[in-house]
Structure 1
Amino acid sequence: MNRCASIALVALTSAACVQERTRVPAPRAEIRDSAGIRIVENPRPPEGSRLAWRIGPEPLVSIGVLEGEEAYMLYGALDATRLSDGRIVVANRGTNELRVFDASGTHLENWAGEGEGPGEFTSLSRVEPWPGDSIAAWWTRTGGISVFDSDGNYGRTFRLGGNDEDPIWLAPRPESATRAGSVLATWRWRDADTIVVHLRDGEGDLKARLGTHPGPEYHLTPPGAYRFDLWEQIFGRRLVHVPWGDLVVIGRTDRYQLRAFRADGSLARIVRRQHVPRPPERSDIEARIEEQVSLVPLEWSPEEIERYQADVRRGYRAAPVAEHLPALDSVMADALDHLWVREFESPADDRPGVPWTVFDPEGRVLGFVETPEDLKIYEIGSDYLLGHSGNELEVESVQLWPLER
């Protein structure tokens, strides 16, 4: 057992991850080529079936305490990544530090910190692997990306177009880093309902245009006490995107179709999976509104919370509702180039575990996998999940879970 209480293994047992699985052969995909584009049509895996992959009943490492040494008290741990030697780097936005822990979760050192100088941050948001066992970290306020080597030495900072003096909305927003050292970026003109997707090189220059895609749809209401007047459609579409091997996947949540682009911007593959749309019921809508209402800062007084929640309820109940529930929630790719698609679950549903559909590197569906219910996954390795548990109302922890394929 490690010397720090924060490294104690936390038994967040997920019944869905250890339940008996119905093992079935992988569904058979239909594959065809059309004008140089490979189209993969997949059936939906059988209801209740699971891949013969196993996620352990508890994390191997859990970093985070309510009280104790400062290094283990996380606040706003928005992202994390694992280096090749097993060290875990946590982007702790509350202190704008990159906190580094060894493979067992013992704190080693901090990189960067609060400030506006080279290698410092004002609003740290992401940390991702970068070629050469380095890492890239970026912050939202100015859109800068800083590169550090595996020893934490600051290398350089670059921005995705524009000048440092320009407003952030004039420059593309970094979203993900690719293995080749490019940056997947998006750009939207203020509150437009379309999103432009770029691939930028390691200097921030445009490498390829990946198209203009439908984004969230908004609804205007008269401003309330908190002056919220712009609301997303309830269960409305969102854009999803992720690097996938040498490709970049782009899709939208209102349909089960993912388009994979090459690094030159050309379309290489379309992956689809059978999905039957379901109209939202009143219980789905009310549960979504209450989900949004529950997100309030801890430091607010009861009166402030009451006014805020009344405003949010008023705004959402005036907002339009999508005709169907989303077809999917989000997408990720793992270290072995499998594509993981998180299934959409209504807030009204109360199910243990989070279901994902897993596709092989060619886009053929393999089956369902369930991950721990309270784990927000940051990274999927060949034999692990790295993610975050907790929120501002609970103790935050960054956890490493074992994955057996």
Structure 2
Amino acid sequence: MSDKFNEDKIKSLLKDMPQVNDTLDKDELYRKVASNITPKRARKRKRTWLIPSFATVAVICLVVIIAQSMQPSNFGALDNGRSQMDEVSENMEMAQLPTENNENQITTNEAEEGNNDMAIMERAEEEIFTSRVVNAQENTTLIYGAVLDNNANAVIPLTFVVDKLNADVESYYSHLNDYIREEEWGVFAYPFENMTFDINNDNNEVMINVPENYQFGNGGGTVQGLFETVISTMFLPYQLDTAVIDYASSTNQELGMLGNIESFPLERGEQQIYKMYQSSENGASLFVPFNFTGDIVRALEEMRNPQEETNTQASIPADYSFSSIQSNGDELLIQFDDPSRPQNDQQTQDMIEAILLTAKSFGFSSVNIEADVAQVGIYPMNQSIFVPDAVNPVHIR
């Protein structure tokens, strides 16, 4: 069958079909078509509440820690208030608490980021060590005290840090022993027994007011013999020269075995080395000075030796050895045989602070320690570190 035949056949069939007329209005047709069209709903995007990155919290905490760490007074050896680490830990816990609306909306990436930030913070916490020195700050007052070791063989200086400027120093001195925790710290508070002190800066002297019938309390001959040393430790930092005794009694004007003394010059500090005192495993660790005759090189070598009779440990570990100890003006330069030996830990920071205190007594104003590690606690290596103002801080809140 040919193509021409098929085409003619189709035309014939179409002519025979009935004619169809559409009478539907065009506008009505449009409305019907439009009414059957269901508009495609825009997909509602689920709103996701983003939790601020823990990195932000971590950075804020680190900034606070570093700023405070540059001020050693905030990391005292003995603290009557809540430690700064407690505050940082509390802030971290608060930062981790999710709200009811967003607890299920943390993405996997955000969770992983939080875990990484937590690891960073844990490392940062491990690098915060106890500082046993203090520097004067704008809004604090330093009050200098002293205690004895538990065998009354050594005088241990303390620095009471009062969180306000221009505090009534004399009032604190009248109640100084109230702030000393003998049993906890493993020390012996000097038996001032209601003595009071008046500082006269015009005459560069301190007036010691001895109450009537003063008997040195439970202090024996050894304790009484340290009276002038204790008073000198307490008041020399104020640049005073003399202690004057004022007896309340007109008949009893003696200080025990010291007899009748009206005044005495404050003992000017000799060259001293600093070691670490700790009466027991759980006792406080405190720096204790010992007078020393010799140069700074011999002084640092001696700091490697403990003194068991006074429960005093070496402040420089025995396995440290020096390749160079030199001075550059008023700066002490120290190199170790093994520059990789100093580590970022509490023991090394204690050593650095003991060196700073010892260098200060030898007339140096700064110390530069060469080491492979860039930072030990709050102290940068391979650059100048200024000597501190005082030692063994006790924070009074």
TM-score over 0.5 for the pair: no
TM-score (norm 1): 0.24
The TM-score normalised by the length of structure 2 is 0.24
Q: Which has the larger Rg? A: 2
Q: Which has a greater percent of strand?
A: 1
